[in-house]
Structure 1
């Protein structure tokens, strides 16, 4: 949601309005009707219409329009109808109003306006095409694969306008912009990774939407500037440096009235980054079923266990390491027994992550102090298994 609640959408929008936008999926313009506006949630209920064609100048250009009904995949004839943020994107326009084609509230919510996506899927389904097509203008990489690509001497890919990169440990934005100069939608998802040269993203003059999650290294000076990326209509930041988030918020809040949606959540101070980049349980922060207090206690226990294991590797003689590791394992297992009794949050995934955290500590210890006895890791796990209830 926008950071400050408003009494009406920042761009003029009323119930009954028909909104038009160009769809890359369709290669044409398409339309939707605003069915409801909710001040409390700052959302608009948007009903997609079964129409596409040349850019309309008014509703008269649409002819007789009807709601889009979906039968593709698991849909059973329901309307393409959902609540989304009520900031009408810059690239969308109101072409007039018509009587409401539906008068009931929407029962689903989504982020981002994607007019045309469902209509394109439905039309493919209607002609018997069951899979989404592979298109040159969409690219999806992992951090490792994109860095391998950026490291090669290959030509830029100007045809790519939607770029998603996941599991980023490190990424050079200067190289990214050089290889993908025409990106309009950019989604960067890190593993508490480092984003260098983020200010270079200002060279993406066609940029419309940016989403950055769990990436760091950006400073106030890396802020995107409206005069450099004038088409930007969505700023979505989650778990990024606080100073970068502050600069982006103050810069782009002024652009909300022009059609830029601003959503910034969980900004991180340098101390948090330093503490959590090496914390293998960091994904528990905010996870459903894991309260803030449980997460805090879990991290405290992880740090206590890490300190104890590092001390054994650094100070204890080989003949006592195994016994020490087994005792550390028992303490670890009992501590998480007590935590799990409070809320029963440890399931298969969490159990695997708790053992992975121990592996992480042992690997770190061996990197610092050299290999331990061959059975040290087994003794640690044996200690956990002898007492754990999870």
Structure 2
């Protein structure tokens, strides 16, 4: 959801041929790109980066003779720096004029977020003989456990961190996070039905330009970000968050889309969904376009049936029969998902890994219940699956 009617014009006026300019932090200069095509159906803009940087331009004349940026760094072979972005022009970008399109073919690359300047900076380093990207002291990444340990120690605020990502969050106090990292401009928080507390404190990040929250809960409507508190926000990405929080954020930011804030809110969850899916390792399948709701229900039912069978076998079968029984359970699991995949397959690399991870989760639970490691149980289940699976 980006607060607009699908098929309408871009929220900020852009058209084919428009040249846009933006300040690039990595270049410490302004840079520019041309809009080659605007697609109302996909709500995407094909953007061609220009081989230019310099002081802030007032018009296209300030760029001089322009040419597309071609990339030869790392594995690039001279192709254009050309990508489809969401068609919401970020609020810090500006249109400085229009030129005849420098390219007329469609782009096959897609990205969320306009990152003008990053490729030009890499290309210039490469041309100067620098083969490794420098370590950016302003970028930091932690696990949820590492972050909680860090926040539990007395320390001065880390004012130099601009880009902060925290993954695997089980619980996180946003008030302490903001106090420790007050100048963050790009914040990513990912959990697995984890809990965020004091999420309203994120309004204290006055320079925030991008917020991405995935699979975290505990936030209510009063925790919404307020446009007057974070006026520079250009991207609000929420996926699998409380329904009340999602609705409040959507309401607060819908009117900011025409000003250059891209809003993508999906997977608003009610408390009942959280309760039902806390022990469901395949819950993410419900948000994938290629997997129908009926298939998701059958997949979850099969997982739960397999879990019951494994737990019963490990609790009741004599030691000598356990391996054979688990191989058979694995075989039935594999056959069930062969049938579910059917004539229009949807199980690809990610789904295949998740199906095996779901079996590992069952064994983890059994090991905790029995107080002993069971590597042979994992091997037996996987062996049974591998004898029959088509995915």
Classify the TM-score, shorter chain. Answer: 0.7 to 0.9
Partner of 1:343: 341
Partner of 2:186: 185
Counterpart CA distance in 2 for 1:163 and 1:243 is 25
- Note if contact 2:329-2:384 (Cα within 8 Å) is conserved in structure 1: no
- Note if contact 1:294-1:339 (Cα within 8 Å) is conserved in structure 2: no
Q: Which moved more, 1:349-358 or 1:41-50?
A: 349-358
**Relative to 1, partners in 2 of residues 1:48 and 1:361: Cα closer, same or farther, differing over 3 Å?**
same
- Note if contact 1:238-1:267 (Cα within 8 Å) is conserved in structure 2: yes
Q: How does 1:40-189 map to 2 (within 5 A)?
A: 40-189=41-190
**Aligned: 1:2 with 2:6:** no
The CA deviation at 1:18 is 1.2
Q: Which moved more, 1:159-168 or 1:291-300?
A: 291-300
Note the aligned Cα RMSD (angstroms).
3.0
The CA deviation at 1:48 is 0.7
Query: Which one of the candidate residues 357, 365, 371 is aligned to 1:353?
Result: 357
Counterpart CA distance in 2 for 1:22 and 1:114 is 10
Counterpart CA distance in 1 for 2:321 and 2:283 is 29
The CA deviation at 1:329 is 7.0
Q: What do residues 53-86 of structure 1 show as CA deviations (whole Å, max 9, x unaligned)?
A: 1111222221112111111111111111111111
**Relative to 1, partners in 2 of residues 1:175 and 1:363: Cα closer, same or farther, differing over 3 Å?**
farther
**Relative to 1, partners in 2 of residues 1:377 and 1:187: Cα closer, same or farther, differing over 3 Å?**
closer
Counterpart CA distance in 2 for 1:346 and 1:305 is 21
Q: How does 1:1-390 map to 2 (within 5 A)?
A: 2-3=2-3, 4-285=5-286, 292-307=293-308, 330-331=328-329, 333-343=331-341, 345=347, 349-350=353-354, 352-363=356-367, 366=369, 371=370, 389-390=388-389
- Note if contact 2:326-2:384 (Cα within 8 Å) is conserved in structure 1: no
Counterpart CA distance in 2 for 1:134 and 1:256 is 33
The SS at the match of 2:167 is strand
The CA deviation at 1:377 is 8.2
**Relative to 1, partners in 2 of residues 1:7 and 1:283: Cα closer, same or farther, differing over 3 Å?**
closer
The alignment covers a number of residue pairs equal to 381
The SS at the match of 2:269 is coil
Counterpart CA distance in 1 for 2:325 and 2:40 is 57
Counterpart CA distance in 2 for 1:21 and 1:338 is 52
The CA deviation at 1:323 is 6.3
- Structure 2: give runs of 5+ residues left out of the alignment: none
The SS at the match of 2:201 is helix
Counterpart CA distance in 1 for 2:78 and 2:381 is 56
Counterpart CA distance in 2 for 1:325 and 1:267 is 42
**Relative to 1, partners in 2 of residues 1:300 and 1:157: Cα closer, same or farther, differing over 3 Å?**
same
The CA deviation at 1:363 is 3.8
**Relative to 1, partners in 2 of residues 1:286 and 1:322: Cα closer, same or farther, differing over 3 Å?**
farther
**Relative to 1, partners in 2 of residues 1:330 and 1:85: Cα closer, same or farther, differing over 3 Å?**
same
The SS at the match of 2:113 is coil
- Note if contact 2:22-2:32 (Cα within 8 Å) is conserved in structure 1: yes
Counterpart CA distance in 2 for 1:310 and 1:85 is 47
Counterpart CA distance in 2 for 1:301 and 1:220 is 36
- Calculate the TM-score normalised by the size of structure 2: 0.87
- Note if contact 2:330-2:384 (Cα within 8 Å) is conserved in structure 1: no
Q: What do residues 277-310 of structure 1 show as CA deviations (whole Å, max 9, x unaligned)?
A: 2333445555698654444223223334545666
Q: What do residues 160-183 of structure 1 show as CA deviations (whole Å, max 9, x unaligned)?
A: 111112222221111110111011
